[in-house]
Amino acid sequence: MRAEKQVNNIHRSFEKYMREMDEIKDEMERYDRLKAAKREGHAEGHAEGLDTGIKKHNEYVLDLLNQGLSTEEIKKRLTSKEK
């Protein structure tokens, strides 16, 4: 009888341990999904920012060309603006 109780206690302890491990595993998986989503969102935002920056740069250069500036003058303005 005593051995049965000990086995039952061990069994319940093991089941509790397995539930806790499943919870930890689920939390880790959730964290990984959130981290991946954040990386993906960051990459998309970065790409959109680059796209917007390139468009603005191209608009600026076209505006300078429409003002009648030479390509050398435009290059000077762009290099001085970057510094």
Contacts of 79 (CB under 8 A, 6+ apart): none
For residue 82, is pLDDT > 80?
A: no
For residue 73, is pLDDT > 70?
A: yes
**What token pair was written down for 68?**
């009648």
Number of domains in the chain: 1
Q: How far is CA 31 from CA 34, 50, 69, in A?
A: 5, 28, 54
Let me know: does 42 contact 32? Beta carbons within 8 Å. no
Domain of residue 55: give its range: 2-82
Residue pLDDT, tens place only, 9-19: 888 999 999 99
Taking the model in full, what pTM does it have? 0.52
